[in-house]
Every structure is written in C-alpha cells, then in structure tokens.
Amino acid sequence: MKTNQVIKAPTGSELTCKGWQQEAAMRMLMNNLDPQVAENPDELVVYGGIGKAARNWESFHQIIATLKKLENDETLIVQSGKPVAVFKTHDHAPRVLIANSNIVPSWANWDHFYKLESEGLMMYGQMTAGSWIYIGAQGILQGTYLSFVEAGKKAFGSADLSGRLILTGGMGGMSGAQPLAGKMAGAVTLVVEVERKRIERKINEGYCDYLVTDIDEALQLVNKYRQKREAVSIGLVGNCADIFPAIYEKGIVPDIVTDQTSAHDPINGYIPNGMRFEQALVLRKNDPKAYEEKAKAAMGVHVQAMLDFQASGSEVFDYGNNIRAYAKEMGVENAFDFPGFVPAYIRPLFCEGKGPFRWAALSGDPEDIYRTDRLVKEMFAEDASLVKWINMAQKMIQWQGLPSRICWLGYGDRHRFALEVNKLVATGEMKAPIVFGRDHLDSGSVASPNRETEGMKDGSDAVSDWPILNALLNTAGGASWVSVHHGGGVGMGYSQHAGQVIVADGTKEAAEKIKRVLITDPGMGVARHVDAGYDIAIETAKEKGIHIPMMDS
Ligand code: NAD
C-alpha cells in the first residue's frame, strides 16, 4: 500500500496518545518521514541508501494506531518495521522495543537480505531511520566538523582549515552535512554528487553554496576561494569514480580527501560510473547483479584514486561507508592503507563516553531549542569548543522537521544536562517535553570492524556482545524506546548496533529514568574501551567512579 500523504509530526503540548513516551515515539517516527527530513518519504526511506522508518505503509499506520492506544504499562514490539505484538510490562519499562534487519550470521549478506525483503519479511533500518531518532543532516554535522578539524590538526598541526581544500563524495541524507561541516571548519569543500537534485536540495537548505556541472568550472571556484582563504562549498554533479581520478590526473592534491557516497549498499546505494545516472537506475531495476558488479568495479576505481591522493600527500580517510571492503574485493589489495575516521580521529572521544547525543523539541517551537542552547552554554561554559559549536549551529543550521540540536556530550554530562532540561519542562519554561537520543554510532553501542571498532587495541573489533549488552542495559534502565539493529552504516554482515531514546516530560519518573539510562548508556562506552585497554577510558572510569570489577584488585 502506497501513500501520497505528506507526513508531519503533530506539535504543541496537547497529548494525542495516553502518555508522553508513546506520543514522543509517534511524533519522532512521523518526523523521520517528514519530507523536510527524509530523503524519499514516499518509499518510507529516511537516509543511507534504503534506510527505512517502517516496513510498509500498512505497518506505519498500524504502529501509529497502536501507539495511540498504548497504555502507560504496555510495550509495543516492532520487528523490522512491523508492529507484531503488545504486552503488559510496567511503567518504568520501555514503551517500544525494536529489532531491525537482524539475520543469523551465516545468512547475513545483502543477497539473503534482499530475498527476505522481497518476500515482505524484513526492512533495512540503517541506524536512526528504523529507530526513530533521525534529525536530518544536522545529526552528523558536528561529527563531520570534528572529523575535518581533527584531520587538519593531525595533518597540518592546525584546526583552522582556511585556504585548504576538502574533496569528498555524496550529498544525500547524512553525506549532505559535508559541505556545511567543511565550511564551518573554514575550508573550501568540493563535493562530487551524481544526482543533481540532491545538490539542489542542499542549496535550498543552506548546506551548500554552489552547484556546478563542469569539473573545470568547479576547480576555478576552488582556486578563487582558496586564494581568498574564504570558506565555501561547491557541489559538482558527477560520479566520484570519474571525477576523483580526473582531478588526480590534473595534478591537484587536495589537503583532505574522503567519501560518503552510499557505498555500503552496492545495489541500492552506490551508483556505477561509465553510464548516465538515469541509465544506472534502469540497469539496477532490470539486472541487479550486473549493476552490483559495475558498482563494485567503480568503487575500486574510486578507492584507487583516494590511494593515489594519499601517496601524493593528501590526508585521506574512510568516512564510514565500507567502500574499502568492496574495493578490496575488486582487487585493490591495499584499500585499507588509509584509515577509518574512528581510529584516526574519534576514538579518544568514545573513551570518555562522548558521541553524537541529540535532542528534539516535541513542541515544534524553535524557542525550546534556543533555551537548551543557552543551558548548554551556561552549564559547560568552560568548554570553549562546545560553546563555539552551539554558536555556529544557531547561526548556520536551518530547521528540518521538529527543531533539534546535535551536541557531543560524554559520560557524566548527558544526564546532568537532561535533568536540568526535565526541570525546565516541569516548570513550563519548555512548551512541551524534550526527546533525548543518539546515533547508534556512539561510544558503547556498536560493533563494526570497518568503522567504529576498527583496529581496537585488544583486537576485539568484531565482538558484538557490547551493543547487545548496551540494549539490554538501557531496557533495564527504562529508556522510552530501545532498538537492536544489524548492517547499519557499512551494510549487511558488517555491523551490529543499538539505539535508545528517552523522553524528558518534566515528571519525577522521567528524572529517575534519565538518572539511570543517561548514565548506563555512555557508561557502557567507557566500560567497553576500558576492557579494550585504552588509558583515557581507564582514567575516565577512575575519575568518574564507574565500577569495573576487573579494576578492583
Ligand atoms: P544517501 O543514500 O542519502 O546519500 C548518498 C549519496 O551518494 C546520494 O545522494 C547518491 O546520489 C550519492 N552517490 C552514490 N554513488 C555515487 C557516486 N558513485 N558518485 C557520486 N555520488 C554518488 O546516504 P547518506 O545518508 O548520505 O549516507 C552515505 C553513507 O554514509 C552511507 O554508506 C552511510 O551508511 C554512511 N554513514 C556514515 C556515517 C558516519 O558517521 N560516518 C553516518 C551515517 C551514514
């Protein structure tokens, strides 16, 4: 069943469900499919290739209907985007439990997934798509900005990227954050995107400055703004597998090179080169196997160009789409010579339980988010980079759907902050409750050997007990909804991960749950990195008093 209905989350302080947790789950699911937020809402696709919010329209409508009737001591069970049962639990249990795209390991590949999907048995939940806490491109913006800044510090000893060139690919759901993140870091950012309308959308949303269709025109703009040391972003319509090698052939060495096309999915994500975009879509439909081979071959060419840039002196990193694995499969033996962004720049933050924490205002009123911005600046006034982030975010980010804020906070700070917000909801300073959540790409909630857990100190990259423990613990703590997924970010067979969301509705019960969940959730991140032997995590655990039994003696 299809729908042409435009989905928009209700806003304001009137409840339409029997409690704020159910209301929040309903509004956030609907927000994921808001045309301002989702990449292809007609197909229920939120972002990241075919990352969906619900299995089909029938399931979507039934989830909404069930949430409206759900009691405050009941739990809705969602299996790969379909509501399958409601059970009586208790008022401190999650209102929704979600499992998406999980497949027994020996069957966990795209071929088997697509067989199940075609039989109507499964959907691809990506990370925040199927767990209803996607907030548009802002969700990855701060992480991308931090990665660019850290790349600059490592390669050139400076966080200021003015006069520098970042070359990357992809301007879709999450990848669309790259042009603005590069601009925030002061750089000239050239993004190669095969589908023109994706660039147009990002220009309309204020994330990108220029759209060009010609490589030489793009490079002229690059030169002009590098010389002026002015930060701008340029979207070039083209295929990375054609444009990256062409830029290399011209002898241009960008300062930073990465890529965020949907390479995790060689059938419904990455677009092969050597044909027009529209021809690729026809081939995908008529002969998916031939399409897949061409897409993987193109990834080989794309990664080879990235390796060539690296050999010429560019700072090159993989940005979490598994492109290296497919290139290696196609014979690029040294595809893993450039690192993933987590081991290169982000892991020290994970050791402190820091990651892409975020919140959204159910009122729909931006003033509620501005109030949280002021609170961040008051509570963390000594953290100059965080204050700078909030100031930049306020100035440069347009709202998409429900007003929201991304803000990387760590262990100890997340629950302190959420408790203060809960008080503001209680006093009526906020017009409606605030929803707190995070990406599955977080400190203790993901096992993904080519991404978040690449190159772990103790070799535990593929151990996926951690995200499962994370979900169990957040369920025990009473998060409002908890999810366990497979295949997000890097594709089938390559990752397992968990999500949680908690609602601050101003009540005493919400405060109790926040005090449990927003301690245990980042706490699992610290514990996971203590177990792997990271000094920063061990220091954090000691300083913050996290009880790690093996450290007792
Ligand atoms: P998306 O599908 O919404 O967008 C990807 C874009 O890449 C599309 O606009 C598509 O047209 C473009 N594209 C595909 N092949 C191309 C090619 N050969 N040349 C040029 N452009 C091409 O996906 P998204 O949400 O932007 O996510 C992109 C990738 O990043 C995915 O693999 C996703 O899993 C991963 N991801 C990484 C992180 C992270 O933190 N590093 C977070 C979220 C998603």
CA 303 to ligand 1 centroid distance, Å? 15
Helix axes 535-544, 508-531, angle to 10 degrees: 140
70 ligand 1 Cβ < 6 A: no
Q: What's the Rg (C-alpha) of the chain?
A: 22
Q: Considering only CA atoms, which of 76, 174, 81 is closest in space to residue 120?
A: 81
Low-confidence ranges of the chain (pLDDT < 50): 1
Closest ligand 1 atom, residue 341 Cα: 41
Residue carrying the six token digits 């208790």 = 90
Q: Report CA torsion sign: 231, 236, 241, 244.
A: negative
342 ligand 1 Cβ < 6 A: no
Mutation test residue for ligand 1: of 262, 324, 350, the one with most atoms within 8 Å of CB: 262
193 is in an annotated binding site: yes
pLDDT at 553: 76
Confirm if 449 and 481 have CB atoms less than 8 A apart. Answer: no
The amino acid sitting at 394 is: Q
Closest ligand 1 atom, residue 299 Cα: 18
Q: Considering only CA atoms, which of 404, 363, 409 is closest in space to residue 386?
A: 409
Q: What is the pLDDT of residues 260-307, one digit of tens each?
A: 999 999 999 999 999 999 999 999 999 999 999 999 999 999 999 999
266 ligand 1 Cβ < 6 A: no
Is 407 designated active site? yes
Q: Considering only CA atoms, which of 353, 354, 363 is closest in space to residue 503?
A: 363
How many Cα atoms occupy the beta-carbon half-sphere of 309 within 13 Å? 31
Residue carrying the six token digits 């095969």 = 194
Confirm if 77 and 83 have CB atoms less than 8 A apart. Answer: yes
Confirm if 187 and 162 have CB atoms less than 8 A apart. Answer: yes
Q: Around Cβ 35, how many Cβ atoms within 10 Å?
A: 14
- DSSP letter for 342, please: I
Burial track 309-328 (b if 16+ CB lie within 10 A, e otherwise): bbeeebbbbbbbbbbbbbbb
pLDDT at 4: 60
Q: Considering only CA atoms, which of 515, 516, 505 is closest in space to residue 427?
A: 505
Residue carrying the six token digits 């999980």 = 102
Structure tokens at 56: 């089909």
Structure tokens at 180: 């603005």
Tell me if residue 548 falls in helix, strand or coil.
Answer: coil
264 ligand 1 Cβ < 6 A: yes
Q: What is the CATH number of domain 1-36+54-124+346-553?
A: 3.40.1770.10
**CA–CA gap between residue 413 and residue 235 (Å, rounded):** 37
**CA–CA gap between residue 67 and residue 71 (Å, rounded):** 8
- List the domain boundaries for the chain: 1-36+54-124+346-553, 139-339
Mutation test residue for ligand 1: of 148, 260, 264, the one with most atoms within 8 Å of CB: 260
Homologous superfamily of 139-339: Urocanase like domains (3.40.50.10730)
Q: What is the pTM of this model?
A: 0.95
pLDDT at 3: 59
> Which residues sit opposite 20 in a β-bridge?
none
Q: What are phi and psi of 210, to 5 degrees?
A: -125, 145
Q: What are phi and psi of 222, to 5 degrees?
A: -55, -50
Q: Considering only CA atoms, which of 200, 151, 162, 215 is closest in space to residue 184?
A: 162
356 ligand 1 Cβ < 6 A: no
**DSSP E strands: which ranges in 95-161?**
96-100
Catalytic residue among 17, 240, 351, 407: 407
174 ligand 1 Cβ < 6 A: yes
Closest ligand 1 atom, residue 195 Cα: 11
164 is in an annotated binding site: no
The answer for 273, left when phi > 0, alpha when psi is -120 to 50, beta otherwise, is: beta
Closest ligand 1 atom, residue 175 Cα: 26
Burial track 148-187 (b if 16+ CB lie within 10 A, e otherwise): bbbbbeebeeeeebbbbbbbbbbbbbbbbbbbbbbbbbbb
Q: What is the pLDDT of residues 61-74, one digit of tens each?
A: 999 999 999 999 99
- DSSP letter for 47, please: E
Q: Considering only CA atoms, which of 56, 1, 67 is closest in space to residue 33?
A: 56
CA 317 to ligand 1 centroid distance, Å? 15
**CA–CA gap between residue 172 and residue 495 (Å, rounded):** 21
**CA–CA gap between residue 338 and residue 4 (Å, rounded):** 44
**CA–CA gap between residue 546 and residue 358 (Å, rounded):** 23
